[in-house]
Amino acid sequence: MGMLHLVRHGQARFGSDDYDRLSELGTRQCEALGRWYAARGQGFAAVLCGTLTRHRQSLAALAEGHGALPAALEFPSLNEYDSDALVRAALQAWPPAEPLPDPHTPEGYRAHFRLLRRALAAWTAGELQPPGMPRHADWLAGIGAALDLARTLAAERGGGDVLLVSSGGPISTATAHVMGAPGDAWVELNLRLRNSALTEFSFNPRRHVLHSFNTLPHLLAPDRADWITYT
């Protein structure tokens, strides 16, 4: 029996020309999580990580705070879905009557995520297939393979916990899968995940079981209230 610790990357640069980089706050969030683990003597038998820049930077910051993480194994199926491709496909499938507002404004931000939510549900149901993206069933299978790999690595290394650094989409999909939740239930979980949030699955050789979801134990101090972010 062990515990799989699934960590969403720290705050990235939403609204910038290159979202796939941590902000300064995102780095601090992940360093704080690493220090929280170190203070509790939490070690890991293995580390898995997606291949996106924000995943690698989050893991590097977490390792800086922790001080004693094993080398990571990168696993591409832990990468996020392509939200830009989904939104483009949605706009083509359902052309808006008026141009969408500037995404840097509050109304534009809300409009973006309303459209993304609809696109994710349609992709899950097989009703929308953005060019360059896998079928949702194949994406789900890749995430399942990462969960299986975590169990295998723990067994090969004599037991212990496994750390996994990824994005909101894979983590929420894994959570819904472990819970046996229907259809697009993962979409709502995805849109609730906070930056650097911790989700935990206990596991044995046969299965994973949800232990906690979307927690921020490293950001509970009152002076870190403004460190809690979603995008």
Q: What is the pLDDT of residues 177-230, one digit of tens each?
A: 999 998 899 999 999 999 999 999 999 888 999 999 999 999 999 999 999 998
DSSP at 131: T
Range with the poorest average pLDDT among 93-107, 114-128, 133-147, 214-228: 93-107
Residues 178 and 171: their CA atoms lie apart, in Å, by 11
Tokens of 14: 């939403």
SS3 93: helix
Q: Domain-by-domain residue ranges, the chain?
A: 2-78+135-227, 82-132
> Is residue 139 predicted with pLDDT exceeding 60?
yes
* 2-78+135-227: CATH topology: Rossmann fold (3.40.50)
> Is residue 15 predicted with pLDDT exceeding 70?
no
pLDDT tens per residue across span 120-131: 999 999 999 999
Residues 35 and 157: their CA atoms lie apart, in Å, by 24
Mention every residue, 6+ apart, whose C-beta is less than 8 A from residue 130.
82, 85, 86, 88, 89, 119, 123
Mean pLDDT score of the chain, rounded to an integer? 93
pLDDT of residue 211: 97
Burial of 50 (0-12, 13-18, 19+ CB in 10 A): buried
Buried b (16+ CB within 10 A) or exposed e, 140-174: bebbbebbebbbebbeeeeeebbbbbbbbbbbbbb
Radius of gyration over every alpha carbon of the chain, rounded to an integer in angstroms: 18
